[in-house]
């Protein structure tokens, strides 16, 4: 199972772009990279998923270089409501999905 | 609306008591999961079920039990053998899609010991 490493915490200000990088050096060929967001006292929710290159949806962008040993979640123009914990997973799905401690993003006014 | 419901939102357990946490989904998902989350920590897998009448232990199954008699329901019992049950419990479900599988989570149940 691929182990991921991401910063414990990050601070930002409203309106800024936030990039959270995740390292997954031993990612397997079949693994996908998935990011979840969790607000306090709520369950995590899916943000974005990708295998390689760039994926964009209405919430975020995910950049994955060719070697796939890292990935970067990009949140454009964050607001106070983006304050949450963000989890990076490199997985083959199901019970093999491992949620680490995540990155605590704190957005300030 | 489709989704996952967990009840109760808060649960209090007395010493030596078994308590059961409810998890129901109407997403028609085959797989269901129970996680435990301690303050400032990630999620740890307690039990999972990939199909009705079948379930497997996760990483921290000791002191917990589950059943999966219906596709929609996956209740978790915290037994008296679990000596440190205070935590936030999350239920999730998914449709197995290999590596592209994503999990849908319920709102959680916070268990406290009196």
For B88, name the nearest residue in chain A, comparing CA atoms only.
Answer: A41
A4 touches chain B (CB under 8 A): no
Q: Which two tokens stand for residue A82?
A: 């983006």
Instruction: Please tell me which of the candidates B33, B48, B99 has its beta carbon nearest to residue A92.
Output: B99
Buried/exposed code over A51-67 (b: 16+ C-beta within 10 A; e: otherwise)? eeeebeeeebbbbbeee
Extract the residue ranges of chain A whose pLDDT is less than 50.
none
What is the β-pairing status of strands B31-37 and B76-78? unpaired
Which one has a higher pLDDT value, B17 or A96? B17
Question: Does pLDDT of B78 surpass 90?
Answer: yes
Cis check for the bond before B8: say yes or no (omega within 30 of 0). yes
Rounded to whole angstroms, the Cα distance separating B47 from B66 reads: 7
Report whether A46 contacts A36 (CB < 8 A): yes
Task: Count Cβ–Cβ pairs < 8 Å, chain A vs chain B.
Answer: 64
A53 touches chain B (CB under 8 A): no
Give the model's pLDDT for residue A99: 84
Whether the Cβ atoms of residue B106 and residue B92 lie closer than 8 Å to each other:
yes
Pairing of strands B31-37, B4-7: unpaired
State the pLDDT at residue A1: 62
CA–CA separation, B5 and B108 (whole Å): 8
Chain A residues with CB-CB distance to B50 below 8 A: 94-95
Question: Which is more confidently placed, B80 or A1?
Answer: B80
* Chain B positions touching chain A (beta carbons under 8 Å): 4, 31, 33, 35, 40-43, 45, 48, 50, 56, 58, 88, 90-92, 94, 96-108, 110
pLDDT at B101: 84
pLDDT digit string, tens, across residues B38-51: 998 899 999 999 99
Residue of B50, B102, B110 with shortest CB distance to A49: B102
């Amino acid at each position: 199972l691929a182990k991921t490493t991401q910063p414990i915490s990050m601070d930002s200000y409203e309106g800024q772009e936030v990039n959270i990088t995740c390292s997954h050096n031993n990612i397997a060929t079949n693994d996908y990279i998935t990011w979840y967001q969790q607000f306090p006292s709520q369950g995590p929710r899916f943000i974005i998923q990708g295998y390689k290159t760039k994926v964009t949806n209405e919430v975020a962008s995910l950049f994955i270089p060719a070697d796939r040993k890292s990935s970067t979640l990009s949140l454009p123009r964050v607001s106070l409501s983006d304050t949450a914990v963000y989890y990076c997973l490199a997985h083959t799905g199901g019970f093999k999905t491992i949620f680490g401690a995540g990155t605590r993003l704190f957005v300030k006014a | 609306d489709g989704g996952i419901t967990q009840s109760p939102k808060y649960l209090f357990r007395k010493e030596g008591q078994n308590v059961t946490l409810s998890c129901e989904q109407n997403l028609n998902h085959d797989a269901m999961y129970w996680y435990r989350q301690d303050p400032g920590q990630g999620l740890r897998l307690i039990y999972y079920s990939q199909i009705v009448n079948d379930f497997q232990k996760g990483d921290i199954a000791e002191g917990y039990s589950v059943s999966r008699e219906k596709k929609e329901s996956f209740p978790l019992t915290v037994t008296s053998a679990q000596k440190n049950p205070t935590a936030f419990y999350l239920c999730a479900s998914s449709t197995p899609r290999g590596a592209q599988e994503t999990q849908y989570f319920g709102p959680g149940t916070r268990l406290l010991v009196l």
